[in-house]
């Protein structure tokens, strides 16, 4: 029997604006990962997870500006993931966004992946809320980096490498170490202790993760809003930074 992830959040933006964020390549880039998408039934969806690779699928159903369904990602032996995004207008010009992800096998082999994606959606949907609240209408550029580590204690090592106190809390102001000696000053706006740290600066969002048990994935997502965009080498700089400390 397949399992599914269900999430619902309220976004401080009108429905049409949120629709653009979940149905266009530039929109997805402001809160998730780069997409190329034709938001019509049968249209191609290409999702770029950077170091984790590119996946392709198709739009299965679309009812602009309220519902989009796409899926068919992965290798033939993988579960066939399907994503459903549903929008509804709310009071104050806000939008309720409901996400359903189907396709997980009801098997303990998939428990860790299900758990990681469930927690990951909390982070990305927070990105959607914050990007619409703080950076609405601005183009986004994104740098991504990821490595694998089996040394143990990756979360504490990640905080130490970033020079963030172990007892950090949402709302704390921090100065985060970054490649090229360019520290990032901002406020902690998201925290899932032992897994995800989010820092919001005046220019964008920094997301740091350490996920997994026997083999831990340590990753960085940096979103910059407005111009100039991130330099083309920022992903490579973060990748070297991770590899030097965790690979």
Q: What is the mean pLDDT of each run of 10 residues along the chain (247 residues)?
A: 87 98 97 96 94 90 97 60 95 98 75 88 98 97 95 94 96 94 93 97 97 89 97 96 94
Residue of 89, 98, 155, 87 lying closest to 125 (CA atoms) = 98
Cα–Cα–Cα angle for 45, 50, 54, nearest 5°? 35
CATH architecture for residues 140-246: 2-Layer Sandwich (3.30)
Q: What is the pLDDT of residue 196?
A: 98
The number of angstroms, rounded, from the C-alpha of 206 to the middle of its chain's C-alpha atoms is: 11
Predicted TM-score (pTM) of the model is 0.94
Which residue in the block uniquely carries the two structure tokens 């949907």?
Answer: 125
With vertex at residue 114, the alpha carbon angle to CA 116 and CA 9, rounded to the nearest 5 degrees, is: 75
> Cα–Cα distance between 86 and 63 in angstroms, integer?
9
- Write the CA distances from 94 to 100, 128, 130, 193, 229, integer angstroms: 20, 13, 13, 29, 28
What is the CATH number assigned to the segment(s) 3-134? 3.30.530.20
pLDDT for the residue 81: 81
| Domain limits, the chain | 3-134, 140-246
pLDDT of residue 74: 55
The torsion angles phi and psi of 158, rounded to 5 degrees, stand at -65, -45
The two three-digit tokens of residue 174, written as one number: 């921090």
CB 28 within 8 A of CB 38: no
Pairing mode of beta strands 196-200, 82-89: unpaired
Identical topology for domains 3-134 and 140-246: yes
Q: What is the pLDDT of residue 214?
A: 75
């Amino acid at each position: 029997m397949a399992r599914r992830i269900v999430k619902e959040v309220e976004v401080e933006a009108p429905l049409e604006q949120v629709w653009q964020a979940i149905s266009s390549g530039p929109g997805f880039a402001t809160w998730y990962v780069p997409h190329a998408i034709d938001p019509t039934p049968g249209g191609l969806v290409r999702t770029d997870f950077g170091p984790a690779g590119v996946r392709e699928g198709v739009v299965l159903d679309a009812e602009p500006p309220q519902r989009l369904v796409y899926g068919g990602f992965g290798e033939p032996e993988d579960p066939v993931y399907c994503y459903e995004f549903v929008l509804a207008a709310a009071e104050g010009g806000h939008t309720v966004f409901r996400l359903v992800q189907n396709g997980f096998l009801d098997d303990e082999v998939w428990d860790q992946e299900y758990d990681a994606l469930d927690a990951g959606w909390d982070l990305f949907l927070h990105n959607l809320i914050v990007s619409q609240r703080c950076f609405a209408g601005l183009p986004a550029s994104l740098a991504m980096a990821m490595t694998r580590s089996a040394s143990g204690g990756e979360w504490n090592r990640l905080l130490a490498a970033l020079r963030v106190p172990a007892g950090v809390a949402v709302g704390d102001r921090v100065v985060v170490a970054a490649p090229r000696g360019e520290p990032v000053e901002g406020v902690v706006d998201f925290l899932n202790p032992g897994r995800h740290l989010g820092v919001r600066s005046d220019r964008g969002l920094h997301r740091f993760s350490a996920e997994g048990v026997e083999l831990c994935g340590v990753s960085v997502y940096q979103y910059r809003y407005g111009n100039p965009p991130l330099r083309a080498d920022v992903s490579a700089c973060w990748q070297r930074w991770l590899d030097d400390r965790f690979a």
